[in-house]
Amino acid sequence: MKHLIKRTLLFTIPLILSACIFDSNDDDEAEPWNAEAVCPAEGNNIYGMPNRGSFTDERDGQVYKYTTIGDQVWMAENLRYAAPYSTCSNDTNFVEQYCKLIELNCKTETCCKESLCHHFGRYYTIIENGKWMGNIDIDLADTICPKGWHIPQKHEWERLEKKMIMPGENKTNAASRMKSSDSSFFAMSSTQINELNRTYVGTDDCSLSILPSGFMYEGGMTLEFNASLLSSTQEDSHFISTYRIGNKSSFEIQNYRDAIRCVMDPVNPEL
């Protein structure tokens, strides 16, 4: 019996040591999140386009930057197309803070508003008849983005988020990698320059450059501490899912007007 125990121990101990060694190596070899692997700046994407560049919306001549993340191509700016029921921010305090921090060349409120709209885009509803609650107007939703692009569905936002995060990380990491690295945008406030909000600045690893454009209340006031980006996914008979990017990323249902980030139509329509 003693010989059997000895033999068992001699056989078991090396296995344990071997298992420990291999487990340790696996941990050591785990690679961190890498922008060059997820969203390389150079090279071409599956559409045959450069991974990053710009394109012109043939409807109104506006030029937008885009970036490739995985097999998705995203607009790197908020949409500015003057679709039905859309509007730029008319929040006077918001416009004033924008010109104090960012647009220093404007001398009039009109100039400030135009510049603000260029950077933050317009605020949209795709609800029937431009209402704040209800069902999606399919025809409107299908024509808001430029030809070849569309309002992302919820699952497309989810695919993007998965690319921006590693196992073991949380949604704060994903949000940071998507947000603009210009801290001035994050100091804007509806009442005063908010230096604390600069701490919410991102690292913008894939040049997606998400801005804290927020959303618009029914009265026209803008809440701008995070980004609230529209999807084309109806959650129930009243609300549409929106993708919120602030200190972390999350999905919300709400009845406000939101910014839009269009995504290119997939090569494989099933995706």
Taking only the tens place, the pLDDT of each residue in 135-145 is 999 999 999 99
* Residue ranges with strand state E in 5-104: 52-56, 63-69, 72-75
Higher pLDDT, 6 or 244: 244
Report d(CA 76, CA 207) in Å as an integer: 7
Report d(CA 264, CA 255) in Å as an integer: 26
Report d(CA 261, CA 67) in Å as an integer: 12
Q: Which 3 state secondary structure label does DSSP give 87? A: strand
Please give the biggest Cα pair distance in the chain: 95
Report d(CA 19, CA 39) in Å as an integer: 35
- pLDDT band per the 50, 70, 90 thresholds, residue 29: low
Q: List phi, psi (to 5°) of 249.
A: -105, 145
Q: What residue spans define the domains of the chain?
A: 1-30, 37-264
Element (H or E) spanning 175, and its range? helix 171-178
Neighbours of 112 (CB within 10 A): 22
* Residue ranges with strand state E in the chain: 52-56, 63-69, 72-75, 149-150, 215-216, 222-223, 227-234, 240-245, 249-254, 257-258, 263-264
pLDDT value for 268? 73
CB-count burial class (<10 Å; 0-12, 13-18, 19+) for 147? exposed
Report d(CA 92, CA 96) in Å as an integer: 6
Say if residue 184's pLDDT is above 70: yes
- Mean per-residue pLDDT, 41-68: 97
Say if residue 63's pLDDT is above 50: yes
Report d(CA 197, CA 187) in Å as an integer: 5
Task: Give me the chain's average pLDDT, please.
Answer: 86
- pLDDT band per the 50, 70, 90 thresholds, residue 181: very high
- Mean per-residue pLDDT, 73-101: 93
- Mean per-residue pLDDT, 212-236: 84
For helices 92-101 and 109-120, angle between their N-to-C axes, nearest 10 degrees: 80
- Mean per-residue pLDDT, 198-216: 93
Closest by CA to 207, choosing from 86, 64, 89, is 64
